Structure 1
Amino acid sequence: MKEFNIKNLVRKNIRELQPYLSFRDLNEFKNPVFLDANESAFGELNRYPDSTQKKLKQKLSGLKGISADQIAVGNGSDELIDLIIKAFCEPKEDSILMMNPSFAMYGFYALVNGNKVQLLDLDENFEISKAEFLKTTNENQPKVFFLCSPNNPTGNSVEDIEFYIRNFNGIVVVDEAYIEFSDKKSCINMLGKYPNLIVLQTFSKAWGMAGARVGAAYSSAEIIALINTIKAPYNVNSLSLNRILEAVDQKDTVEQNIKNTLAEMSWLNKELRCLKGVKKIYPSDANFFLVEFEEVEKAYAKLLENEILTSKRSPKIPGCIRINAGSRKENIRLIETLKTIA
């Protein structure tokens, strides 16, 4: 990796942009009267939320072992993906690089922002070819590389992930939406080593807070300041912030839920392997399996007929359906339905 200078990567108009700053959130008051933001004086949610999310960042700082100024909070990881592309990629000029198959929203937000999408095709084991990676990056010079690990929809983690961070001359975003289900270490511990690294995590999966729509980005203070400059002033609402703050204080409950999910994954794996219509179950470090069926259309139709919603990945991944672990009752219903396929 060449010497990293963020100013050489950030869009010129973004470098010159001044962030929206809330005077209220940047100062401490003992007994304030708020007449500055044209809010109603009445109602339960009449005040704007903290635009800086100070309390949550302080809690995450202790939880992750990094400084609060290395954390940005978003309206789900989706908002953060969008902001990263907006910060670094010139519309109609720059491109992003992403694994194929992987989380579709990387490409979606790139296209919305007028950027090209370079695809790095995975091999038959859903792994990246290092030679192909080096060839693609040297020829196309993408600005941002999205690495989903564990990967959605394949379930496997990226092997030797540091190689890709070290050999990419741009911003590397490691999306760890499913990291809590994996025994792999988070890339957050590499932030001090790689100034071009951004790690995304979410409260939607292991934390069981998908409805709150809260995600977090971890990076250098310089990159986080850039993200905070271009985000919407009050991008995370008060209800979501309060629920996430409560959840962070109930880490034992979250850890038990993770154990329960992994137990269901183990049960589901065993039961799926006993079904004659199942051709292959791919290894997973997440809370879902990518399952290959002998007759995928018939399997998917039978599940849908019984109001069991799964994610059909065929024909892009031939014969495959992505199935996440539910409760034991839900998982039994899944297996019993699949048993009825003639």
Structure 2
Amino acid sequence: MFNLDKLLRDNIRQLTPYSSARDEFTGEARVFIDANENSLGSPLTKWYNRYPDPHQWKVKEAISKIKGIPPQHIFLGNGSDECIDLLYRAFCVPGKDNVIINPPTYGMYEVSAHINDVEVRRATLLDDFQLDLVHLENLVDANTKLIWICSPNNPTANSIDRQDIEIVLNNFPGLVIIDEAYINFSRHKSFIQELSEYPNLVVLQTMSKAWGLAGLRLGMAFASEAIIDVYNKVKPPYNISQATQELALKALEEVGQVNDMIRSLVALREQLIRDLGELPLVRHIYPSDANFLLVKVDDARGVYEHLLRAGIVVRDRSKVELCAGCLRITVGTEKENAELLKSLRGWQV
């Protein structure tokens, strides 16, 4: 049975979080002389001399309206990487606990584990890039705190079978994190509406992909209010800048434009699949629920370097397990895709 308090590290359970100046009053105010800011302003604008809202309530309220999730169930991180790292820092005792990843998958789960001195156990995906539930179950022990599932997965681009994920959620007493960075490009349903059913569920999303705001570094974690309280307890006091909050709010007003971009990218993806499929060097194009393709080609490294010489950068994934001979290709603009195809047509072994 899931018990959040038992899952927490002892030092985090006993931690008194930092209380910022903006945490210590409620209501509205006209004069702010509590946080040792520069009262005269800044060289850029008079607005950025003040610290931002440490809990980003306006941004969370805007996200809440779009996602249908109460603001108290939302955490905002400096990119999804902060959302990932804070889970290690809150729940995993260094040198003692372990986590499970399902490679090939997003590399930061493992990197963040190593930074925090947490053992990584690997339940390699099956040949069809689905979970190996038997292997995964056999890896779990009393010190397994987190299971990471990326769906749609990176670099394989496919969605993980929903029933398999539900089996993990129903049987694992630790946290199950479903990273849905690419969910907007998929026809599959997000797990964020299942938060009330699974108290051990954390869903990660981002404004980097479908929203086109990778440069802002704004990640989202959706979870029970108790888990969000833990996030807020261990995060830096002002982890999301004022500029990021302002730009995110403007972007969140343009849901229609974002949906149009998603439809356009999906159409470009399907056309790119058809065009790549006509090239002799392409051996296989894996199904994609994301804004990129995993493509098996003849001489992946040679093709990669050929594209580099043409000024085109893709990702060589040929040394990643289950991805031998594969390149990961992001869906570009119509012009960028045309340049890619032209260069590939000029490839000769």
Give the structure-1-normalised TM-score: 0.97
Which residue among 337, 342, 346 is the counterpart of 1:340?
Answer: 346
Q: State the partner residue of 1:116.
A: 119
Q: State the partner residue of 2:31.
A: 33
Farther-moved stretch of structure 1 (43-52 vs 8-17): 43-52
Q: Which amino acid letter does the alignment assign opposite residue 153 of structure 1?
A: P
Question: Which deviations, in whole Å up to 9, do the C-alpha atoms of 1:174-219 show, x marking residues without a partner?
Answer: 0000000000111111100110000000000000000000011000
Q: State the partner residue of 2:53.
A: 50
Matches of 1:228 and 1:182 in 2, distance apart? 30
Q: State the partner residue of 2:188.
A: 184
Report the CA distance between 1:298 and its aligned residue.
Answer: 1.7
Q: State the partner residue of 2:229.
A: 225
The answer to whether the Cα contact below 8 Å between 1:118 and 1:142 also exists between their aligned partners in 2 is: no
Relative distance call for 1:199 and 1:113 in structure 2 (3 A) is same
Q: Which amino acid letter does the alignment assign opposite residue 134 of structure 2?
A: A
Q: State the partner residue of 2:62.
A: 59
Q: State the partner residue of 1:11.
A: 9
Farther-moved stretch of structure 1 (187-196 vs 126-135): 126-135
Tell whether 2:268 aligns with 1:270.
no
Matches of 1:287 and 1:131 in 2, distance apart? 30
The answer to whether the Cα contact below 8 Å between 1:155 and 1:284 also exists between their aligned partners in 2 is: yes
Q: Which amino acid letter does the alignment assign opposite residue 291 of structure 1?
A: V
Tell whether 2:237 aligns with 1:239.
no
Question: Which deviations, in whole Å up to 9, do the C-alpha atoms of 1:126-165 show, x marking residues without a partner?
Answer: 1112211221225x75210010000000001110221121
Relative distance call for 1:26 and 1:268 in structure 2 (3 A) is farther
Q: State the partner residue of 1:209.
A: 213
Query: Helix, strand or coil: the match of 1:24?
Result: helix
Matches of 1:226 and 1:31 in 2, distance apart? 28
Q: Which amino acid letter does the alignment assign opposite residue 224 of structure 2?
A: S
Matches of 1:72 and 1:26 in 2, distance apart? 20
Q: Which amino acid letter does the alignment assign opposite residue 134 of structure 1?
A: E
Query: Helix, strand or coil: the match of 2:101?
Result: strand
Give the structure-2-normalised TM-score: 0.95
Report the CA distance between 1:264 and its aligned residue.
Answer: 0.6
Report the CA distance between 1:20 and its aligned residue.
Answer: 2.2
Q: Which amino acid letter does the alignment assign opposite residue 231 of structure 1?
A: K
Report the CA distance between 1:26 and its aligned residue.
Answer: 5.7
Tell whether 2:277 aligns with 1:279.
no
Give the count of matched residue pairs.
339
The answer to whether the Cα contact below 8 Å between 2:21 and 2:35 also exists between their aligned partners in 1 is: no
Matches of 1:70 and 1:340 in 2, distance apart? 51
The answer to whether the Cα contact below 8 Å between 2:96 and 2:143 also exists between their aligned partners in 1 is: no
* Structure 1: gaps spanning 5 or more residues: none
Alignment of 1:67-146 (within 5 A): 67-138=70-141, 141-146=143-148
Report the CA distance between 1:24 and its aligned residue.
Answer: 2.7
Q: State the partner residue of 2:159.
A: 157
Identity of aligned residues (%): 42
Report the CA distance between 1:166 and its aligned residue.
Answer: 1.4
The answer to whether the Cα contact below 8 Å between 2:293 and 2:328 also exists between their aligned partners in 1 is: yes
